[in-house]
A and B are shown apart, each in its own frame.
Chain A
């Protein structure tokens, strides 16, 4: 027992103001408002000051770099190969130059992570997945497309129908420059109408198959159809998200 604890307890403040409770509730309310409206505020600020400045603000437009393995596979651009196989007429291995010589598709669309962060106005450039599939020729009986990564861990899948959407691309350029290693370069998938986990990084192989093979994230509980609006599909995407 310490000396002091034997002494009389300090008098209860008779007319004290409970500032603690006020500040606590105030900050909690601020937090709740931020959760409810932070997305709109952030989009407004981002539109007002541009995404360059917006990136410096808290909660700014910043990619959060994920990797399943904890490292980035580093692939030299001239060593890069994309193997397309499975139920196709002409199994083909593409180099980066092969992909770049094909008809180019580019557009500007947001990258939306399923956990909530979002980077608006990302410029993407690459080859439509449907063009690539047409090039190799999809055999009858094919139902889905599976994707493999150079990290030997991530896998993804799309139905053949999803794979033919015009904004599903094999991307070699992003943010106005070749896709960097941390963003999944030299070549990655970008599935615009779905959450970011569907846009597999370090794309190494495309296999045309006769059944959907749930990918890495789907095996860990994410929906196989990662539509941005959560349910309905590509014809009715959430206007707030794209």
Chain B
């Protein structure tokens, strides 16, 4: 919408555009599909309860192969401008951000759009998707790899599955305890007061006219 049409929403700041929100929820859907199909594959006693095993395997395989797509699709192309900017924000850290992370949030920081914890979460998830995809492919097409590698891939796939599950549980807990922040993954916007409190540097860069007023 244009500036002229939306005087009310100009008091609210766009945090995630449509493309990013859809990518987030597609990613979440695939993640839960993977997690719920992993449980019976991993803990034998659960399986056979709901679906036949080979169907569960197929769902797990295809969800896994599709997992990188929401991020990639939302990042490429003319619709990916906001996503690309956020990926850049997440990758590049200032010295203050690094210090903030090292001191576990005790140093002063004028926060970017994402605080260093959120950035680290995003980087970890991105890297883990890559590692899970590679090791998962090794387990699916195991014939091309020597047996010790297959065992190693099983080890890594298991280890990262645990790690990701902890991180995602943490992500959900943080979301549920920060309702204003959570709302922006549904409707895209945060209030100016939220942005002043949690992302002052971003707000200053995004809407210099507002902050200077």
Contacts and interface: CB of A to CB of B under 8 A. Distances in A.
B130 to A, nearest CB: 6
A18 B94 CA distance: 9
Contacts of B104: none
Given A10-B206, A19-B93, A112-B147, 12 more contacts: A5-B81, A13-B88, A27-B131, A35-B149, A36-B152, A39-B151, A66-B53, A72-B48, A114-B147, A115-B142, A116-B142, A228-B147
Contacts of A9: 85
A35 B130 contact: no
The A interface is mostly helix, strand or loop, or mixed, namely: loop
Contacts of A10: 85, 89, 202, 205-206
Given A2-B1, A2-B17, A115-B142, A70 B53 contact: yes
B90 interface: yes
Nearest to B122: A20
Interface in B94-151: 94-95, 97-98, 119-120, 123-124, 126-128, 130-131, 134-135, 138-139, 142-143, 147-151
A37 B152 contact: yes
Nearest to B160: A31
Contacts of B61: none
Contacts of A21: 91
A19 B123 contact: yes
Contacts of B187: none
B180 interface: no
B177 interface: no
Interface in A65-81: 65-72
Interface of A: 1-13, 15-21, 23-24, 26-28, 30-31, 34-42, 58-60, 63-72, 112, 114-118, 182, 221, 228, 230, 238, 240-241
A41 B159 CA distance: 13
Contacts, number: 178
B48 A240 contact: no
B139 A115 contact: yes
Q: Pick from B2, B17, B41, B159 the residue with the most CB of A within 10 Å.
A: B159
B44 A63 contact: yes
Given A10-B85, A18-B92, A31-B134, A59 B159 contact: yes
A182 B44 contact: yes
A35 B156 contact: yes
Interface residues on B, range: 35 or more
Contacts of A238: 147
B13 A4 contact: yes
9 contacts: A11-B205, A13-B92, A16-B94, A18-B91, A19-B123, A34-B155, A58-B158, A58-B161, A115-B142
A14 B28 CA distance: 33
A7 B206 CA distance: 7
A35 B162 CA distance: 16
Contacts of B155: 34-35, 38-39, 41-42, 58-59
B127 A27 contact: yes
Interface stretch (B3-11, B29-37, B63-71, B168-176): B3-11
A142 B150 CA distance: 37
A1 B90 CA distance: 23
Contact of A64 (B41, B88, B93): B41
Contacts of B208: 7-8
Contacts of A13: 88, 92, 94
A31 B91 contact: no
Contacts of A39: 148-149, 151-152, 155
A34 B51 CA distance: 32
B3 to A, nearest CB: 6
B77 interface: no
Contact of B154 (A40, A70, A116, A228): A116
B200 interface: no
A70 B160 CA distance: 27
Given A4-B13, A28-B127, A17 B151 contact: no
